[in-house]
Amino acid sequence: MSEPTKFLLREEQIPTHWVNLLPDLPGDPLPPLHPGTKQPAGPDDLTPIFPMGLILQEVAQEPEVEIPEEVRQAYGLWRPTPLFRARRLEKALGTQTRIYYKYEGVSPAGSHKPNTAVPQAYENAKAGVKKLSTETGAGQWGSSLAFACSLFGLDCEVFMVGSSYDQKPYRRSMMQTWGATVHRSPSELTQSGKANAEHPTGSLGIAISEAVEVAAQDPDCNYSLGSVLNHVLLHQTVIGQEAILQMELAGDEPDVVIGCVGGGSNFAGLAFPFLRAGSKARFVAAEPAACPTLTRGVYSYDFGDTAGLTPLMPMYTLGHDFVPPPVHAGGLRYHGDSPIVCALVKQGLVEARAYKQNETFEAALRFARTEAILPAPEAAHAIRAVLEEAEAAKQAGEQRTILLNLSGHGHFDMSAYEAYLAGELEDPEFSEADMEAALERLPEAPAIA
């Protein structure tokens, strides 16, 4: 065929190392702070809930970290993932711009999340841990960890954000099929859950508090986080490394790299290897207008969870106890973001944009009706940004190259599609007043510039 649609790699081309962007950031990195003392948190402060293997990755200063062979073997179940040229979408848009997407929905759980679930389960099993507890928003992360725990013989306990638990019953069945136990959050099982009973839709912040509490009280149980932390972003860089090789196969280079941002891991996974390689591209992060952390939040130290159990991290935040409205992109309902991604936004190296739910689903349908894949609602935010970028190129009379991270499929999000198709999807308003109130409760910590 003269016009290929897919650019594929061989299994031996699965990367051997992860890309660590920490040493590339200008200036001294701002350390996380201990939630009690507010002093810089060292590796020892993290040992109650994380294995040393992951803590060392969290603070690693080497530009690359080797991927253990067992993890590469497990990656072989679905990696390398395909890169597609969106020829049908381009044609429908009538654009000269070339659009590519890296599709992470081919993983067993249906998103990029197993890229980090597998090494996290591996390091915990190696350290003799018996069980992992975690939170899940959309259910993608909980399913991924349930799958990874099943690979390495670990028990898995998942606190699922209430609104998603109700919207996505089959995500719950999927986790249970892989052997996990699933609770609706806020639950009656933890102090943090009981303290938040007045927020029945839940939030990622509350669910994280519940899962951390369970891990902190059980010596055989560790906690596992699906985004935000440095080691999680590190694991995701297999995406961008493969994409660089695949863009070479296509004989093209991106002018714009786009991903959605919940905690920042799929965006980072695609973007960081391009940043490391000195790419000339612009980097665009897409988030929900109902939870606009990067576009409306303040840059400050804040807790990663609602109850204030995690270390304080330097990031854009809407306030740790801000409860975002229940949009369908559950994986993007988080009050903060990865400190590394936030630092890049602060430095102007990454542009952030926020989109409403209906315009996002309009983009999702446009994509499904041309490229055939039903995108996850989270990924649809990035597709919305692609449509805007393609239009901007057309207006400028330029032919640009856009690279999108299609982080997952939406096969378990059909209630959201159904609501959109019935014209019943709402555009919940972000409440400035709620954010201001939550920001009043930011913890005392050194100011950051």
What stretch of H or E contains 342? Answer: helix 339-346
Cβ nearer to ligand PLP, comparing 65 with 341 = 341
DSSP 8-class letter at 42:
-
- Quick one: which segment of 50-58, 298-306, 373-381, 396-404 binds ligand PLP (CB under 6 A)? 373-381
- The helix-helix angle for 357-371 and 377-395 (nearest 10°) equals 80
Cβ nearer to ligand PLP, comparing 187 with 227 = 227
For the bound state, the minimum distance from the C-beta of residue 350 to ligand PLP, rounded and expressed in Å, comes to 13
Specify whether the CB–CB gap between 222 and 50 falls below 8 A.
yes
Structure-token pair, residue 167: 């919207």
The one-letter amino acid at 10: R
Q: Which residue is nearest to ligand PLP (CB)?
A: 331
Long-range contacts (CB closer than 8 Å, 24 or more residues apart) made by 87-94 = 87/3, 87/5, 88/370, 88/371, 89/366, 89/367, 89/370, 89/371, 90/390, 91/370, 92/366, 92/369, 92/370, 93/387, 93/390, 93/391, 93/394, 94/394
When binding is defined by CB under 6 A, the residue of 95, 97, 266, 300 that contacts ligand PLP is: 266
- List the end-to-end C-alpha distance of the chain, in Å, as a whole number: 53
Cβ nearer to ligand PLP, comparing 162 with 262 = 262
Structure-token pair, residue 410: 């939406």
Cβ nearer to ligand PLP, comparing 257 with 393 = 257
Q: 189, 430, 427, 197: which is closest to 306 by C-alpha? A: 197
Binding of ligand PLP by 417 (CB under 6 A): no
The one-letter amino acid at 208: I
Cα–Cα distances in angstroms (integers) from residue 253 to residues 249, 256, 391, in the given order: 10, 9, 19
Binding of ligand PLP by 120 (CB under 6 A): no
When binding is defined by CB under 6 A, the residue of 9, 154, 307, 379 that contacts ligand PLP is: 379
Cβ nearer to ligand PLP, comparing 46 with 207 = 207
Query: Mask 311-340, x = binds ligand PLP (CB under 6 A)?
Result: --------------------xx--------
- Quick one: which segment of 124-132, 258-266, 300-308, 413-421 binds ligand PLP (CB under 6 A)? 258-266
Chain positions 141 to 200 lying near ligand PLP, rule: CB under 6 A, are 141
Binding of ligand PLP by 413 (CB under 6 A): no
When binding is defined by CB under 6 A, the residue of 185, 227, 237, 306 that contacts ligand PLP is: 227
When binding is defined by CB under 6 A, the residue of 80, 137, 254, 288 that contacts ligand PLP is: 137
Residues forming contacts to ligand PLP in the complex (CB under 6 A) are: 111, 137-138, 140-141, 227, 260-267, 331-332, 376, 378-379, 407-408
